[in-house]
Every structure is written in structure tokens, then in C-alpha cells.
Amino acid sequence: MKYNRCGQSGIMLPGISLGLWHNFGQADTESNCREMICRAFDLGITHFDIANNYGPPPGSAEEMFGRIFKTDLAGYRDELVISTKAGYHMWPGPYGEWGSKKYLVASLDASLKRIGVDYVDFFYSHRPDPNTPLEETMAALDLIVRQGKALYVGISNYNPQMTKQAAAILKQLGTKCLIHQPYYNMLDRTIENGLLETLEQEGIGCIAFCPLAQGLLTEKYLHGIPADSRAGKPTGFLRPKNITKEKLAKVLSLQKVAKKRGQSLAQMALAWTLRDPRVTSALIGASKVSQIEENIAALNKLKFSKEELAAIDKITL
């Protein structure tokens, strides 16, 4: 495993982190989830990323991880980085989502119980709240660190301007904004338009989610939509209508570049995401152990030639 320093801090994250967004809820078997988590840890993935609403249903991914943590990983707590988030809808009523102090603190308290730990290593504001003052949201993150419920805090889905503002507020309060979790892959390079530069200036680490575009940057959808895929499930965020002929044409072209590099398309996509030193970790999802093993092998070939990068740019830009 390759470990990278997270922004201007002492914490290191694995180049590949495991996210529990889609495949660790009640629809998945505990034995398969246990096998994936334990194999990932054995391969050097020390960072497991969750959120309060992951499942489905909401909360079930934290519960699943909590059971596996208790039986298999509790003795390794000091070798683990556990992260969770709050921001999206979690429970009914006016206090069950967004960025108020009431919601963030209550959500983390519930997450700690579901996971079965006294603290998490990272806690995120999962999305900016247009109606709550940013000062209140950041004050909640600062409070959570001071209460010992999280060692570090971060943000997700914030644009460059709000990222600067959030970092400044936290700095004034005495707590570092350590990490940002944005959407980033070869098919969506939005964060190259200012956010990566902002993170570098502020000394904030970057962990990219959906580096495989929810499976589009694999061979999975080249011959239709498998029933067990994200697009084939009613609960998935990737819908069949989003798998367009234009995108598949790009995927086929990228696959040819990957083949010349001696990598699978997924491995090249992950290596490409990590080509930029400002990206600390690539956050993968998985439904079986073999996917984790394939993805980690991306770290064996991270360097790109100028010609390869130019070919990828021609396809994706």
C-alpha cells in the first residue's frame, strides 16, 4: 500500500480507501461485507469511509461496519481511520438533514452508537446548507472536535469559494479543515477548475469519491446493464439513462489506452485520479473481494507518459 500525507497534517491515508456507500446495507450479506472489509484491511486499506445515510436503508452501513468492527477489527482500532458524515436526509422532521448544529451533533452521536466507537477519525459536513449560516455549521465541527467525538473534520461537495470560507472560519476557531471529499474522475473534471488549487493553498487534503464514475470507468457497462450493477438496482444513483452512447464511446477509447498501459480500465482510472499529488486518496466502492484486489493493483503503475495523458485529455476534454 502507498500512503499519502493528508494536506498539511500528520495523518497519512492509503492511496486507495474503501467506501461503504452502496454495498453494505441490509440488501448485502454480512459474510460478504466482512470478507471485503477484512481483505481490504489485510491489503493495507486502513481508511473506511461511511456516512449516516449510507445503506440502504439509512444507518445500515454504519451498523454493518459496527458489527464487523466489533468481531474482527476492534483490536486494531489504532490502525484504522474511520470516517462518517452528516448533511443529507437522515430522519423525518425539521432537524434531520442539512447543516444545523443540532442536526450535526445529534447525527454523530447516533453514528457513534451504530459503529460502536467512542470517536471517529474524520467527521464531514456532507454538503453545504444554503439556509444555515456557514459559521454555525463550522462551529458544530469545531465543537465536535473539542468534545473528542472526532479527531479531524472536513467537508464534502463544497465549491472553491465556500471551501475557502469554511477553512477560514475553522482556523479562527482553532480547528483545522483537514480534508475535502469531492466528486472526481476522468469523465468529470470539475474540481480542476479551482477547487484543487484552493485545497493546495489551504493545506487541505483531497479524497476523490466516484473515481470510477460508479462503475462507468470499468468494463461493466460495455455490453449492457447487469442486474447486479448499480445502474441495475432501483436504489442506485447511477441510472440507465445516464449511460449514454457518447459516454460509452469515451469508455471504449479509454479502455484502449489502458490496455496499452497493461492495466484494466478501472486500474488506469484510479491511477489517473492519483496522478495529481494534491489528491490524497481515491475512494472506491466494491461488491466483492476481487474488485478490491483489482483496484489496489492500480498502485503498481501510477506514472503516466506525456503521450498517455494527452491521449486521455483528447478523449475526456
Q: How is 301-312 classified by DSSP, letter by letter?
A: -----HHHHHHH
* Interval 199-233: pLDDT, tens: 999 999 999 999 999 999 998 777 656 555 555 45
> Quick check: 237 pLDDT over 90?
no
Average of pLDDT values for 49-77?
97
Instruction: Quote the domain boundaries for residue 204.
Output: 3-242+264-303
C-alpha cell at 191: 474540481
Does residue 256 lie in a domain region? no
pLDDT in tens, 160-172: 999 999 999 999 9
The C-alpha cell at 243 is 449511460
* Residue 47 DSSP SS3: strand
Query: Into how many domains does the chain fold?
Result: 1
Whole-number average pLDDT of the chain: 94
Short-list 258, 287, 260, 290, CA closest to 271: 258
The pLDDT score that the predictor gives to residue 222 is: 73
Q: Shortest CA distance to 247 belongs to which of 185, 311, 295, 301?
A: 185
In a domain, 317, yes or no: no
160 vs 246, residue with greater confidence? 160
What was the pLDDT predicted at 217?
95
Residues in the chain: 317
Domain contains 214: yes
Preceding omega of 56 cis (within 30 degrees of 0)? yes
- pLDDT value at position 223? 63
Whether 100 maps to a domain, the answer reads yes
At residue 220, the pLDDT reads 78
User: How sure is the predictor about 9, in pLDDT bands with cuts at 50, 70 and 90?
Assistant: very high
Helices and strands per DSSP (H, E), number in the chain: 10, 10
SS (H, E, C) the chain: CCEEECCCCCCEEECEEEECCCCCCCCCCHHHHHHHHHHHHHCCCCEEECCCCCCCCCCHHHHHHHHHHHHHHHHHHHHCEEEEEECCCCCCCCCCCCCCHHHHHHHHHHHHHHHCCCCEEEEEECCCCCCCCHHHHHHHHHHHHHCCCEEEEEEECCCHHHHHHHHHHHHHHCCCEEEEECECECCECHHHCCHHHHHHHHCCEEEEECCCHHHCCCCCCCCCCCCCCCCCCCCCCCCHHHCCHHHHHHHHHHHHHHHHHCCCHHHHHHHHHCCCCCCCEEEECCCCHHHHHHHHHHHHCCCCCHHHHHHHHHHHC
> What percent of the chain clears pLDDT 90, i.e. is strictly above it?
89
Percent of the chain with pLDDT over 70: 94
Mean pLDDT over 304-311 rounds to 98
Residue 250 within a domain: no
**Do the domain assignments include residue 310?**
no
Asked whether residue 259 is domain-assigned, the answer is no
Average pLDDT, integer, range 46-73:
97
In the DSSP assignment, the letter for residue 72 is I
Position 308 in a domain? no
Write the CATH number for 284: 3.20.20.100
What pLDDT, in 10s, does the model give residues 69-104? Answer: 999 999 999 999 999 999 999 999 999 999 999 999
Q: What pLDDT does residue 228 have? A: 59
Q: Which has the higher per-residue pLDDT, 111 or 242?
A: 111
User: Tell me: the pLDDT tens digits for 259-291?
Assistant: 999 999 999 999 999 999 999 999 999 999 999
